[in-house]
């Protein structure tokens, strides 16, 4: 059995909410897969419990739902995933907001290379 699938099943439990096609996770862009993998890796190494990440994701999506219509074309699942991961990482003091902003800006200005 695929090791990633096993870890996803163990950490995520019910995977029905995850975007997938024929039971394979679907990522439209490489950053989405990296954000997904980073969230799993941080939970696996004990930086937070997976349920903490799920709660953060639910809260982020809930906040969006309160201010947007269900058919809003700006809805993107992995943008909520990333926002949830960033918030949880800052809440757990894994990164400061200033460091996150600096790294984001460096990436946008192409001063940081993408990690595959």
Give the pLDDT of residue 70.
83
What residues does each domain of the chain span?
A: 3-108
Rounded to the nearest integer, the mean pLDDT of the chain is 82
Give the pLDDT of residue 21.
55
Tell which wins on pLDDT, 16 or 93: 93
Confidence of residue 18 (pLDDT cuts 50, 70, 90): low
pLDDT at 11 over 60: no
SS3 labels along 30-68: HHHHHHHHHHHHHHHCCCCCHHHHHHHHHHHHHHHHHHC
46-60 pLDDT, tens digit per residue, is: 999 999 999 999 999
CATH of domain 3-108: 1.10.472
């Amino acid at each position: 059995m695929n090791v990633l699938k096993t870890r996803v099943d163990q950490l995520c439990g019910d995977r029905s909410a995850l975007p997938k096609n024929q039971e394979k996770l679907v990522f439209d862009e490489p950053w989405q897969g990296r954000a997904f993998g980073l969230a799993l890796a941080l939970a696996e190494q004990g930086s937070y419990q997976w349920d903490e990440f799920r709660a953060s994701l639910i809260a982020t999506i809930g906040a969006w739902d309160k201010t947007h219509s269900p058919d809003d074309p700006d809805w993107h699942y992995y943008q909520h995933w990333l926002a949830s991961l960033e918030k949880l990482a800052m809440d757990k003091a894994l990164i400061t907001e200033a460091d996150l902003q600096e790294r984001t800006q460096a990436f946008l200005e192409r001063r940081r290379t993408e990690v595959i």
